[in-house]
Structure 1
Amino acid sequence: MEQETRKFEVLRVSVLSHCSFACVYCVPKDQSSSSEDKSHYHFLSPELLTEKLKLLITKINIKEVHLTGGEPTLHKRLPELIGGVNDLGIREIAVTSNGFFADGLIQKMKSKGLTRMNFSVDSFSQSGFEKISDRKFPLSKLLSRVEEAKESGLEVKVNCTVLKGYNENEILPLLDWFGKKGITVRYLEFMKMGPLQKEHSEFFYSSEEIRNTIGKKYEFSSYLTASDSTANYSRTEEGYIFGIIANHSEPFCEGCNRLRMDATGKIYGCLSDETSFDLPENSSDLDLVLQAAMRTKKKFFTGSELSMKFIGG
């Protein structure tokens, strides 16, 4: 019965398999050099995405498409990808970015149908930002991109992956700054995926610890949260809204409605299962593939060795 009630409603797409950052939780240290082998890079073309999406919507009521990576803004045809999704009648289109992209891109994406941008901001200090990203890009540029997206009229959220020993001291500064600007901050428990999977417990900072840290300065209470949301939201007395995405300590797997696609067009039913599926050429065989993908979904998050940049993080 449970299997019948679960539905795929959100498609998260890794439009390319690489990034301009080498964040500690995503990229193995021996691969963090900017001179890494580019022969393994994959790009999802607008034509292939449209083909796959046309097929999927014959069987699934997709409410939202979320374009991720890697770093999706490195994709030279990103506005076309967004436009292709929009042309198929999907009105909720999001992009997650590290904020380092060309001037004018936000407006180009919005003109094609983009409705939301999520920005990865793991630190509010330049030194902390460099420590996590393994890059010496100016944090000020990222912050200005977040403000630009907000001023353009897009819905904007900020994501911070919290790692013990790296950025737990950044939780309050991030809430202070973004809260005053009316931007929601979401704190993510470090997920047991990718290069630090085996050392997960060493860097894990729980949802309880995050709330206790925020509680040292702010009074807050639960805030309206959608039933299919990955985050549990709270609101401070000052009106600052923050969410916590706690895959490990507050699992939400049983309500997960996400289907994932990598940059080659393969689909995945669950972050905790590395099994991928090729989509058939016609809709007559699609039901079986989607059912198989749904069966990979777990009741509790266990993680995998896949790096998030390959599976639409």
Structure 2
Amino acid sequence: MIDAYGRTITYLRLSVTDRCNLRCTYCMPAAMRFQPRVDLLDWDELGAVADAFVALGVRRLRLTGGEPLVRKGFVEFVGRLSRHLVSGALNEITMTTNGTELERHAEALARNGIRRINVSLDSLNPTRFAQITRGGQIDRVIAGIDAALAAGIAVKLNTVVLRNDNLSEVVELAEWAHGRGASISFIEVMPLGDVEQSRIDQHVPMAAARDLLDQRWTLTPSAAQTGGPARYFTTDEGGTIGFITPLSENFCGGCNRVRVTATGQLCFCLGQDEGVDLRAMLRNHAPTEPLENAIAAVICRKPLGHDFRIAAQVTGAVNRHMSVTGG
């Protein structure tokens, strides 16, 4: 698949649920209204979508949510998709998780082909973590991270940097990650959906986080790539730090990915509302080949870049919440 700007699409982020057991302040409102379950793709439909994209040349598949591990049957779904790893059609299957359910699933995920995961971790302070996540328990996340590492899964922490919440923790978080043999990426907050807080108050340009880290280490640009948008650096001590800068330093020119939501909407860009309804095709019992043809026919609609803006407003620049789109 090649879009109108000559970018080859080799990376799919597939959401398996919009539901989450946390309510992070930058992601959703406290009283989030989730999609009716009947509107979510079932496991067969999600499998058909994954199969179609693999047939079209996707080489990396990231499973997202919401929180993927809260949906019953997720580990078995990973096992079903692992045949694409065995055949060589996929280079990897990865996932993004908040880590709260990871401890009891880590070994099974490793057995089913997961070799690398991203875990959201926005604070090491139990009180602050509970505030950001609206009730989350940091001990459960740490136990999940340790279980994943023990199972041989490489862990990258994802930290959304929030001006009044965790900016002061970026060095501590990086030291903690590196002490456990994990890498870490710091992310600018993105204006996705109404979260009942001002995005201006939340937003931190990544240069501010970088300044704090530069006081601790000399950061050297790294050639490392994981298929995502992060730019990576290494520290004097060999640790890896990434920066994801959708607002302050746009990375759209090299974008190689699309997303499919848990309701079957093909999103060409995280920062655009436009999408294509794949669920209708699936529920009309269309065979695999027409689904592949339909996807290939619309990939040219992928825009050059996003429309993210942090403005003096509460609502997001894009109506979908991150949990709906898939992180």
Q: TM-score over 0.5 for the alignment?
A: yes
Is the CA contact 2:4–2:302 (under 8 Å) kept in the aligned structure 1?
no
Deviations 1:25-53 (A, max 9, x none): 11124x15xxx678468544321122222
- What residue is the counterpart of 1:311 in the other structure? 325
Unaligned runs of 5+ in 2: 309-316
Does residue 245 of structure 2 align to residue 246 of structure 1?
Answer: yes
Change (3 A) 1:230 1:206: same
Change (3 A) 1:215 1:4: closer
Distance 1:224 1:131 in 2: 36
| SS of residue paired to 2:111 | helix
Change (3 A) 1:116 1:305: same
Aligned residue runs from structure 1 range 104-253, under 5 A: 104-135=104-135, 137-196=136-195, 199-226=198-225, 228-253=227-252
CA shift at 1:293, angstroms? 4.2
Change (3 A) 1:86 1:40: closer
- What residue is the counterpart of 2:58 in the other structure? 62
Distance 2:226 2:70 in 1: 33
Q: Give the percent of matched residue pairs that are identical in Structure 1 and Structure 2.
A: 25
Deviations 1:139-198 (A, max 9, x none): 122112112211211121000001111110111110111112221010001112122498
| SS of residue paired to 1:67 | strand
Change (3 A) 1:103 1:44: farther
Tell me whether 277-286 or 259-268 shows the greater mean CA deviation: 277-286
- What residue is the counterpart of 1:97 in the other structure? 97
Is the CA contact 1:45–1:81 (under 8 Å) kept in the aligned structure 2?
no
Unaligned runs of 5+ in 1: none
Is the CA contact 2:3–2:300 (under 8 Å) kept in the aligned structure 1?
no
One-letter code aligned to 1:100: T
CA RMSD of aligned residues (A): 2.4
| SS of residue paired to 2:28 | coil
Does residue 301 of structure 2 align to residue 295 of structure 1?
Answer: yes
CA shift at 1:54, angstroms? 2.4
One-letter code aligned to 2:10: E
Q: How many residues align?
A: 307
Tell me whether 37-46 or 90-99 shows the greater mean CA deviation: 37-46
CA shift at 1:249, angstroms? 1.0
Is the CA contact 2:39–2:263 (under 8 Å) kept in the aligned structure 1?
yes
CA shift at 1:15, angstroms? 0.3
- What residue is the counterpart of 1:76 in the other structure? 72
Distance 1:285 1:104 in 2: 36
CA shift at 1:68, angstroms? 0.8
Deviations 1:245-301 (A, max 9, x none): 011111111111111111122211111222221234253474454443442423345
- What residue is the counterpart of 1:51 in the other structure? 48
Distance 1:268 1:71 in 2: 19
Distance 2:252 2:148 in 1: 30
Is the CA contact 1:43–1:75 (under 8 Å) kept in the aligned structure 2?
no
Is the CA contact 1:197–1:305 (under 8 Å) kept in the aligned structure 2?
no
Tell me whether 104-113 or 237-246 shows the greater mean CA deviation: 104-113
Distance 2:196 2:298 in 1: 26
CA shift at 1:61, angstroms? 0.9
Distance 2:11 2:275 in 1: 17
Is the CA contact 1:233–1:243 (under 8 Å) kept in the aligned structure 2?
yes
Is the CA contact 1:266–1:277 (under 8 Å) kept in the aligned structure 2?
yes
- What residue is the counterpart of 1:19 in the other structure? 20
Task: State the TM-score, normalizing by the size of structure 2.
Answer: 0.86
